[in-house]
A and B are shown apart, each in its own frame.
Chain A
Amino acid sequence: MKSWNLKNVSLAGAALAALFVHVGPVSAQGLAPGDYKVGFVTENTGAIASAGQSYWNGAQLAAEEVKTQKYLGGASIVLDPKESGSDAARAIQATNQFVADPSLLAISCCILSPVAGSLKPIVTEAKTPLVIFGATAAGLPQLPYVYSMTILPGPKDKATALTIVDAVKPKTAAYILAADNDAFKGRMNATREALEAKGVTTAGVVSVLTKDTDFTAAATQAMGLKADIILVYATQGAAAGAITALKDRGYAKTIVGNDVLSPASIFKKMGDSVVGVPFPVSFSDSIVETPEAKAFVAAYQKKFNAAPDIYSAQGYQVVWFIAQGLKSLSGKPTREALGQALSKVTKIDHQVYGGEAMNNGQAETAGTLVVAWSAEGKIVPWVAPK
């Protein structure tokens, strides 16, 4: 009897313990219902507003989906936009205002690396997570408060150039570089070293400036170098202008672009100038594989009556990344807790690029997709000319 009682008491105790273990953490892990505010430094005006609007559209769509899909149960993410016009002073002002808002959990910002860099000390001091959506300079992420959802283009540039060199077999290469942009300078130098290691001699580097609008002289200079291949490392306007000027002046050899050529607005503007120009891309609405990516394309098309581009995908991923961090927390999380939670994310749950992972706060994908615009205005895998 005694042993029976003891046995039953033990069983009852074990059952209670199991119940506690099972129920206790669930109630503790649940995020308290309510709205969680994320400050979003928009860049919907200014010289790069066309990209800025895409980031903002993608982020808005993700916030809506997090809510409608009840990804966070009864909780949702509310975006609080403040416009910077890509100006560092205005971005700093917006960030200071966000930091001063006790109801705000995280901040997202920045297409330009210098602007992102200027916000780093503010957010780390304020222990507020900052998720960068566009800046590409290496070394921006800093755990546990600074993250980047931009797939770094440098390694993709190098891989793309090597793929093309293997196919085209040029002897000499010329480069058109936005000389006032350190990120592009680094990308070009890395590619140039790799190409020189493969025996491709550098014929010369033609410098342009980001704010330039006339590229006729730069194209003439680049063609004067008589290289077998011209690689363009410049921001969107400069890259588009330089490639158009090269084509206008009759350059018929291979031109290699970069990821800035991927938005649909570029094809609309440049038309046949960009057809067949190879460039790397992490996301394209016409080349998507995962169900999440396909759903993203359809939802974006429906909401904005336009195809999403790489920038919309990056803005979209920012919000899903923050949501993933929030989901792992319980109760009413603090900014510090969210920072710690985000630092533990190694694999992105909601994939639109395919094979996305986080490495020390930096989003990464495996493999490089080398694509080009077709004459019909679709991004298609690049095929080497015969």
Chain B
Amino acid sequence: MQLFIEQLINGCALGALYALFGLGFGIVFSTLGILNAAHGSYASWAAIAALAAVEQLKLPFLPALVVGVVGGGLLAVVVDQIAFQPLRKRGSGMLGALITSIAFWIILDNLAGTATGQQSLSFPRGSYPGTMFRIGDIPIPAMQLITVAVMLVVTFGLHMLIRRSRFGAAMRAVGWNQTAASLGGVNPRYVVIVTAFIAGATSGLAGVLGGITTHNVSFLLGEGLLLKGFAAVVVGGYDDVRGTAVAGVGLGVLEVMSAQYLSSGLRDGITYALLLTFLLVRPRGLFGSLGFSRP
């Protein structure tokens, strides 16, 4: 039983990373209409920026985290304005944006590889909360608690922003029809830029927290999150952040439990079989109101 509980906690913490990553991924898809393959690169670059802040600027954990998150957000805005805005102006479809995002994914990952000397780096011990809490015999690392808590706060915040604020209404309007939104007094360009920033920042948050907990800061960091984040969005429903959060945690738990009680070799197969099942049986996901397609 103790092992089960320990693995459940591990699964929740891993799933929280998938969820965090998936939140931004889903927002970009639902608002900007882009299936952004470069989204993982924002996570890698955010972790690299935070690590540089720790090692070069000697910043403590929280300011370094902010550097990474803001860095991820700014990178997303830059990529959006260079890569996607011209396509948006020309009214290119989803395929053009997807191909462009793949190009940026490769470019940004190559640059990240160069920046890290093709090495897998890690945050120095002592630069992040390393306390191990114990509930009875069950050890819980502080970073796992922080990751889950951050995911819950961000999910709640994003849900409130999208569903209960004027800006959220503007986001949804732009996501549905930019022309109609601008006729209604919304500045689509502003909404697009802020949305891209939020998406990049949440991806960056996942990148920094993931880089710390997995001791892996490299160009491969985002790649590992990309497919799982995508799966979380599809399973959860891409237009509801609560669904992404639940599905992300569920995927993490499923992944860990499959490895513990079935086989680690089948782990990814199980995850993607679930993804396929949802696409076939319930394409709008757990909480989504729309299918996995955009006009």
Instruction: Find out whether the CB atom of B125 lies under 8 angstroms from the CB atom of A271.
Output: yes
- A237 to B216 CA separation, bound complex (whole angstroms): 8
B295 within 8 A of A: no
* B215 CB contact (under 8 Å) in A208, A218, A250, A270: A270
Contacts of B121 in A (CB 8 A): 269
Min CB distance B15 to A, Å, is 11
Q: How far is the CA of A272 from the CA of B121 in the complex (A)?
A: 15
CB <8 Å contact, A240 and B215: yes
Residue from B7, B113, B125 in contact with A217 in the complex, judged by beta carbons closer than 8 Å: B7
Interface residues on A, range: 35 or more
The smallest C-beta distance from B254 to any residue of chain A, in angstroms, reads 12
Q: Is B186 an interface residue (CB 8 A)?
A: no
Residue of B nearest to A271 (CB): B125
Of all chain A residues, which has the CB nearest B220?
A47
Option from B11, B124, B263 in Cβ contact (under 8 Å) with A271: B124
Q: Are A49 and B13 in contact (CB under 8 A)?
A: no
- Assess A217 versus B215: contact at CB under 8 Å? Given A45-B113, A271-B124: no
Say whether B216 contacts A207, CB under 8 Å.
no
CB contact under 8 A between A217 and B11, given known A179-B265, A250-B139: yes
Among A241-249, A281-289, A348-356, the stretch that binds chain B is A241-249
What 0/1 readout, one digit per residue, does chain A (195-226) give for beta carbons within 8 Å of chain B? 00000000000111101011111101100100
Q: Among the listed A209, A240, A249, which residue makes an inter-chain contact with B264, where contact means beta carbons less than 8 Å apart? A: A209
CB <8 Å contact, B215 and A220: no
Chain A contacts for B260, CB-based, 8 A: 217, 220-221
A265 at the interface (CB under 8 A from B): yes
Closest beta carbon of chain B to A160's beta carbon, Å: 24
Contacts of A182 in B (CB 8 A): none
B220, A213: Cβ atoms under 8 Å? yes
B141 cross-chain contacts in A, Cβ below 8 A:
216, 248-249
Return chain B residues, CB-CB under 8 Å to A35: none
Residues of B within 8 A of A44 (CB): 118
B215 touching A53, Cβ below 8 Å:
no
A216–B259 touching, CB < 8 Å:
no
Question: Which of B17, B113, B144, B263 has most chain A Cβ within 10 Å?
Answer: B113
B27–chain A nearest beta-carbon distance, Å: 24
A166 adjacent to chain B (CB < 8 Å):
no
B224–A211 contact, CB under 8 A? Answer: yes
- Count of chain B residues near A, Cβ 8 A: 40
Q: Indicate whether A68 reaches chain B with its CB closer than 8 angstroms.
A: no
In the bound complex, residues from chain A placing their C-beta under 8 Å from that of B213 are 214, 216
- Nearest chain-B residue to A248 (Cβ)? B141
* Residues A216 and B215 in contact, CB atoms below 8 Å apart: no
Separation of A250 and B11 alpha carbons in the complex (Å) = 19
Q: Mark A326-368, 1 if CB is under 8 A from B, else 0.
A: 0000000000000000000000000000000000000000000
Whether B14 lies near A217 (C-beta < 8 A) is yes
Given A250-B132, A270-B215: A45 touches B110 (CB 8 Å cut-off)? yes
- Among A49, A209, A215, A217, the one with the most B-chain Cβ atoms within 10 Å of its Cβ is A217
Whose C-beta in chain B lies nearest to the C-beta of A243? B215
| A101 sits at the interface (CB 8 A) | no
Whether A217 lies near B224 (C-beta < 8 A) is no
Complex Cα–Cα for A269 and B256 (A): 25
Contact with A along B1-32 (1 / 0, CB 8 A): 00100110011011001000000000000000
Query: Is the Cβ of B13 less than 8 Å from the Cβ of A216?
Result: yes
Q: Is A180 part of the binding interface, using a Cβ–Cβ cutoff of 8 Å?
A: yes
Q: Are B214 and A214 in contact (CB under 8 A)?
A: yes
Q: Which residues of A contact B3 (CB under 8 A)?
A: 220-221, 224
CB distance from B127 to the nearest CB of A (A): 11
> Contact: A269 with B122, CB < 8 Å?
yes
Interface string of A256-275 (1 = CB under 8 A from B): 00000000010001111000
**B117 CB-CB contact with A under 8 Å:** yes
Q: Are A213's CB and B221's CB within 8 A?
A: yes
- Taking a contact as CB atoms under 8 Å apart, the answer to whether A216 and B265 are in contact is no
A220→B256 CA distance, assembly (Å) = 10
B139 touching A207, Cβ below 8 Å: no
Decide: B118 and A49 in contact? CB cutoff 8 A.
yes
Judged by a CB distance under 8 angstroms, whether B119 is at the interface is: yes
Contacts of B122 in A (CB 8 A): 244, 269-270
15 contacts between A and B (CB under 8 A): A44-B118, A47-B220, A49-B118, A50-B118, A52-B118, A208-B264, A209-B264, A209-B268, A213-B224, A216-B144, A218-B259, A220-B260, A237-B120, A237-B216, A249-B141
